[in-house]
Amino acid sequence: MKSVGAVVWFGAISLVSLLSVGAVNGADPVKLTVFFETLCSDSKRFVTNQMYPVWQDLKDIMTMDVNVYGKVNETAQDEGYAFRCQHGPEECHGNMMLTCAKNYLPEEQFLAFSNCVMETFLATVAEEICAEALGIDPTAIHNCWNSVEGQELLHNVGEVQGTLDPPLTYVPWILINDVFTEEQLEAAQKDLRSVICNAYTGEKPPQCN
């Protein structure tokens, strides 16, 4: 019969071995950061043809930082903010709706909801359609984007976007591991899967082939 000391020693050796294997084979996930607008056709193409399907396949090797803002002018108004968006007032409401959805939904539901909204390309009109299709209760989201809460949340996204270096000049604006290049932006819109797989330093999953 093994002594307690021997068992503890064996366990410690096993833990060290596991940590060593992890250090050799492990790799940080690739961080994808995206800024887009709800009524931008280029955003629609990227979200529905690249971002969402690639995330579904490669979620084990990537993390998502999705922000809905884009080319917006905002001013303080009463207790909240007024926004002027590139594609009109409904886009501002759509941006706010998805920002509220990000605040209230788990990531998987938020991304599915965002993809649905961009597929329909109807901004807030898609709220009920997509919520029903995904089995989501939209009450909290609806109340949020119709209130000062939604304005504050969207303002916060604008504050984050304002720290981008270089600053956003195009939508969708795409960063990989917090780095932006024009070449990477173009490549990600054409074949995000390859961009993510090439950036991942660990063993490539079958979905990369």
CA nearest neighbour of 38 among 108, 89, 105? 89
CA nearest neighbour of 97 among 119, 75, 71, 130? 130
What residue segments make up the domains of the chain, in order of their start?
29-208
- For 64-111, write each residue's pLDDT tens digit: 999 999 999 999 999 999 999 999 999 999 999 999 999 999 999 999
- For 146-191, write each residue's pLDDT tens digit: 999 999 999 999 999 999 999 999 999 999 999 999 999 999 999 9
Architecture of domain 29-208: 3-Layer(aba) Sandwich (3.40)
CB 84 within 8 A of CB 74: yes
Report the distance separating Cα 110 and Cα 116, nearest Å.
Answer: 10
The residues, any chain, with a CB within 8 Å of residue 168's CB and separated by 6 or more, are 35, 70, 71, 161
10 Å Cβ neighbour count for 96? 31
